[in-house]
């Protein structure tokens, strides 16, 4: 169940040059006003036409009809006529390469998220230097999303005893991590000590489900997120055979009753476990944004998996179909769903992969609004108390995407950007493309 992520860093000298080039453009100072723009507030499946949205000090200060809401004198104006303004998206199972190992590559990944409209990332594998990277992004020393960071993982190796688990919780809380990452291999005793101590010190925990613990025990213990729908299908015996609708309904009812959130990560799990073709992954155009050595590693990993004599395509299809059916049932039952793609991961390029994941959520029966809601409003609800974001409304953090067409009518329009704003800093698409071109050149 555990997936090892071995990220290959850019050569330091090339990456350092790229970083220097990327920082040449200073953030927009002062007040920014989007005028005559169609707004997707994301509080409902609706569009507010011809609005003025004023950004000041990294927050949405004013929202109102352009006819009666003039832009402040001296504001930087962004013409929104014919365009659509929506909240920035969140990657709720993302990764940030260890900055201590290669800070320039970590900064590149941060920019790749923002370039695709991802303005919030819940980092699910803590590493040295990430807390400092988070603070640098907040200070706008680099272009990057808001990071909510899990500390280094809890596993059978890192938390082998209840005492070690409890001590690790207290240490990560003191260090300033936002949550605890559960990985596989934990004993029930260590898991319970982690959960108990987490409640005592006030820190959430989420991620995988250790086999010894099981889904029901994790739900009862208060695990806040279940990432990858980990161990859901296996709990129902659905790793090789089709699960009954009744069995799925029973598990879904327990998830909903517990108030847990689920981060499905359908697309990457199909890459890692499904009967996909190598061509369908290795020809993705966004791979140009990753180091060649990394893409070659991913290609070798997938080729070897598909060529393994023990790989059973028919059983793999059944497993993936069961996962899709579980997501459909979770959605229909009104369980909490959060958008996430597990990037960087095999053929999942930060930012781009979230849009691939959204298409699979559509296939599960969700509407375009419901998919977007799982990456905006619902994420804001998940993190309520930490900040206000995920909607276009006064007082919200100014993390926004300006689109050239309405994503509620066609979800792929969410990829057709005119620009991205992150914490009040406006990045027109022309600047984004210039920076992306520099990344491509560095990867040649």
pLDDT, tens digit, for every residue of 198-227?
999 999 999 999 999 999 999 999 999 999
- Does residue 5 surpass a pLDDT of 50? no
- Does residue 154 surpass a pLDDT of 70? yes
Report residue 374: phi and psi, to 5°.
-65, -20
Segment 341-367, tens digit of pLDDT? 999 999 999 999 999 999 999 999 999
| Rounded mean pLDDT, 409-425 | 98
Q: Is the Cβ–Cβ distance between 77 and 35 less than 8 Å?
A: yes
Give the relative orientation of helices 103-115 and 130-138 as an angle to the nearest 10 degrees.
50
- Does residue 102 surpass a pLDDT of 90? no
Rounded CA gap, 160 and 400, in Å? Answer: 43
pTM of the model: 0.93
Least confident of 94-103, 173-182, 265-274: 94-103
421 cis-preceded (ω within 30 degrees of 0): no
Residue 443 has a pLDDT of 85
| Rounded mean pLDDT, 137-163 | 97
* Domains of the chain: residue spans and CATH: 89-388 (3.20.20.140)
Residue 417 has a pLDDT of 98
Rounded CA gap, 149 and 180, in Å? Answer: 8
3-state secondary structure of 258: helix
Residue 224 has a pLDDT of 98
Q: What is the 3-state secondary structure (H, E, C) of 96-157?
A: CCCCCCCHHHHHHHHHHHHHCCEEEEEECCCCCCHHHHHHHHHCCCCCCCEEEEECCCECCC
Segment 60-72, tens digit of pLDDT? 999 999 999 999 9
- Does residue 7 surpass a pLDDT of 70? no
Residue 29 has a pLDDT of 52
3-state secondary structure of 186: coil
* Per-chain mean pLDDT for the chain: 93
**What CA–CA distances, in Å, run from 300 to 1, 163, 269, 305?**
19, 40, 17, 9
| Rounded mean pLDDT, 157-169 | 98
Segment 389-407, tens digit of pLDDT? 999 999 999 999 999 999 9
Residue 103 has a pLDDT of 87
Rounded CA gap, 24 and 43, in Å? Answer: 37
3-state secondary structure of 426: strand
Structure-token pair, residue 262:
């689920």
- Does residue 28 surpass a pLDDT of 50? no
Residue 26 has a pLDDT of 41
């Amino acid at each position: 169940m555990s997936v090892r992520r071995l990220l290959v860093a850019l050569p330091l000298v090339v990456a350092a040059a790229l970083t220097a080039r990327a920082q040449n453009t200073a953030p927009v100072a002062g007040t920014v006003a989007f005028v005559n723009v169609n707004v997707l507030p994301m509080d409902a499946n609706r569009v507010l036409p011809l609005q003025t949205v004023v950004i000041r000090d990294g927050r949405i200060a004013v929202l109102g009809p352009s006819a009666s809401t003039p832009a402040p004198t001296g504001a930087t104006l962004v013409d929104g006529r014919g365009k659509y303004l929506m909240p920035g998206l969140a990657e709720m199972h993302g990764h940030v390469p260890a900055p201590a190992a290669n800070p320039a590559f970590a900064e590149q990944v941060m920019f790749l998220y923002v370039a695709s409209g991802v303005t919030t990332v819940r980092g699910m594998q803590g590493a040295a230097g990430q807390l400092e990277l988070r603070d640098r992004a907040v200070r706008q020393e680099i272009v990057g999303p808001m990071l909510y960071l899990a500390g280094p993982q809890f596993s059978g190796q890192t938390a082998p005893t209840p005492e070690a688990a409890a001590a690790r919780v207290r240490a990560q809380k003191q260090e300033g991590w936002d949550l605890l990452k559960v990985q596989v291999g934990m004993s029930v005793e260590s898991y319970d000590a982690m959960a108990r101590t987490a409640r005592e010190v006030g820190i959430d925990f989420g991620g995988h489900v250790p086999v010894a613990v099981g889904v029901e025990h994790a739900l009862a213990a208060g695990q806040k997120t279940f990432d990858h729908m980990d161990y859901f299908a296996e709990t129902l015996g659905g790793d090789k055979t089709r699960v009954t609708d009744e069995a799925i309904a029973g598990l879904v009812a327990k998830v909903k009753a517990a108030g847990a959130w689920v981060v499905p990560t359908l697309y990457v799990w199909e890459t890692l476990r499904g009967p996909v073709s190598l061509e369908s992954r290795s020809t993705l155009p966004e791979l140009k944004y990753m180091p060649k050595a990394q893409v070659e590693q991913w290609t070798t990993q997938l080729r070897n998996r598909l060529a393994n004599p023990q790989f059973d395509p028919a059983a793999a299809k059944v497993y993936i179909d069961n996962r899709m059916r579980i997501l459909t049932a979770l959605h229909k039952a009104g369980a909490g769903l959060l958008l996430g793609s597990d990037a960087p991961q095999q053929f999942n390029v930060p930012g781009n992969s979230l849009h691939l994941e959204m298409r699979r959520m559509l296939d599960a029966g969700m509407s375009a609004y419901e998919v977007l809601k799982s990456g905006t409003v619902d994420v804001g609800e998940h993190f309520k108390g930490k900040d206000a974001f995920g909607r276009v409304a006064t007082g919200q953090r100014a993390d926004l995407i300006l689109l050239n067409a309405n994503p509620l009518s066609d979800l792929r329009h969410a990829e057709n950007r005119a620009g991205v704003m992150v914490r009040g800093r406006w990045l027109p698409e022309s600047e984004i493309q210039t920076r992306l071109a520099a990344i491509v050149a560095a990867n040649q």
